[in-house]
Structure 1
Amino acid sequence: MNIQVALLHYPVYNRQRQVIVSSVTNLDIHDIARAALTYGVSRFYMVTPLEDQLQLVQRLLAHWRQGHGAKRHPERKMALELVIPTASLAEVVDTMRNECGQRPELLITGASLTGATLSYSEARELIGRGKPLLILFGTGWGLADEVVDMADHRLAPIQGASNYNHLSVRSAATAILDRLLGSHNGNKTS
Structure 2
Amino acid sequence: MINENVSIALVHYPAMDKEGKLIVTSFTTMDLHDIARPARAYEVRSFYIVQPIDAQRLVIKRQIDYWLSEEGRAANPTRYEIVQLVRLKYTLEEVVEDIERERGKKPILVGTDARKYHKTIGYAELKREIEDREREFLIVFGTGYGLPPDLMRTFEYILEPVYGAGDWNHLSVRNAVAIILDRLFSKNRC
Q: What is the TM-score with the length of structure 1 in the denominator?
A: 0.94
Match of 1:72 in 2: 75
Summarize deviations over 1:72-122 as a string: whole Å, max 9, x none: 110111001100111000000011111111210001111113223111101
Match of 2:148 in 1: 144
Deviation at 1:69, TM superposition (A): 2.9
Deviation at 1:13, TM superposition (A): 0.4
Summarize deviations over 1:34-56 as a string: whole Å, max 9, x none: 11000001100000111111111
CA distance in 1, matches of 2:47, 2:161: 21
Match of 1:115 in 2: 118
**One-letter code of the match for 1:171?**
N
**One-letter code of the match for 2:92?**
L
Summarize deviations over 1:124-183 as a string: whole Å, max 9, x none: 111122111000000000001232122010100011102221110000000000000111
Alignment of 1:1-190 (within 5 A): 1=3, 2-66=5-69, 68-130=71-133, 131-184=135-188, 188=189
Distance of aligned partners of 1:13 and 1:167 in 2 relative to their CA distance in 1, 3 Å threshold: same
Aligned residues: 186
**Mind listing any 5+ residue stretches in structure 1 that lack a counterpart?**
none
Relative to total residues, which structure has the larger strand share, 1 or 2? 2
Instruction: Provide the alpha-carbon RMSD of the alignment.
Output: 1.2
Q: What is the TM-score with the length of structure 2 in the denominator?
A: 0.94
Partner of 2:139, secondary structure, is: strand
Partner of 1:166, secondary structure, is: coil
